[in-house]
Amino acid sequence: MKLSPGNFCVLMCIFYIFQDLGEKMFTFPEETNMTYVKVNASAEDLAAITICLRTFTDLTRAYSLFSLSTPSSVNEILLYKQAQAKNKFVVQVGDGVAAFVGQNYDYYNYYYLNKWQSICTTWDAETGLVQLWINGKASSRKFVSHSNITGNFTVVLGQDQNPEEGRLHRSRSFVGMMRDIQMWNYVHSEMTILNYHRNDRRISPKGNVFDWQYLDFDIIGNVVVEPEQKLSNN
pLDDT in tens, 108-129: 444 578 889 999 999 999 999 9
Give me the mean pLDDT over the 193-200 stretch. 90
Q: Please check whether residue 166 lies inside any domain of the structure.
A: yes
What is the average per-residue pLDDT within 211-223?
A: 95
- Is residue 218 pLDDT above 90, yes or no? yes
Nearest to 148 by CA among 121, 128, 120: 128
- pLDDT of 184 reads 97
Confidence band, pLDDT 50/70/90 cuts, at residue 51? very high
Residue 4 clears pLDDT 80, i.e. is over it: no
Mean of all residue pLDDT scores within the chain:
85
Highest averaged pLDDT of the listed ranges 6-15, 100-109, 176-185: 176-185
Q: How many domains does the chain have?
A: 1
86 pLDDT band, cuts 50/70/90, is low
In a domain, 10, yes or no: no
pLDDT mean over 8-34: 71
The answer to whether the beta carbons of residues 48 and 185 sit under 8 Å apart is: yes
Alpha-carbon radius of gyration of the chain: 18
Q: What residues contact 98, with CB distance under 8 A and at least 6 apart?
A: 90, 91, 92, 130, 132, 142, 143, 144
Decide if 40 is inside a domain.
yes
Residue 229 in any domain: the answer is no
Which domain covers residue 193, as residue numbers?
21-224
In a domain, 230, yes or no: no
Does the structure show a pLDDT above 50 at 215?
A: yes
Q: Are the beta carbons of 79 and 85 closer than 8 angstroms?
A: no
Residues 6+ apart with CB under 8 A from 211: 182
The alpha-helical segments, DSSP class H, found in the chain are 5-17, 190-197
Query: Would you say residue 11 lies in a domain?
Result: no
Rounded to an integer, the average pLDDT of 198-207 is: 83
* 202 within a domain of the structure (yes/no): yes
- Dump pLDDT digits (tens) for 149-196: 998 899 999 998 875 545 688 889 999 999 999 999 999 999 999 999
110 in a domain, yes or no?
yes
Say if residue 100 is exposed, middle or buried (CB neighbours under 10 Å; 0-12, 13-18, 19+). buried
User: Could you tell me the CATH number of the domain that includes residue 170?
Assistant: 2.60.120.200
Cβ atoms 68, 155 nearer than 8 A: yes
DSSP 117: E
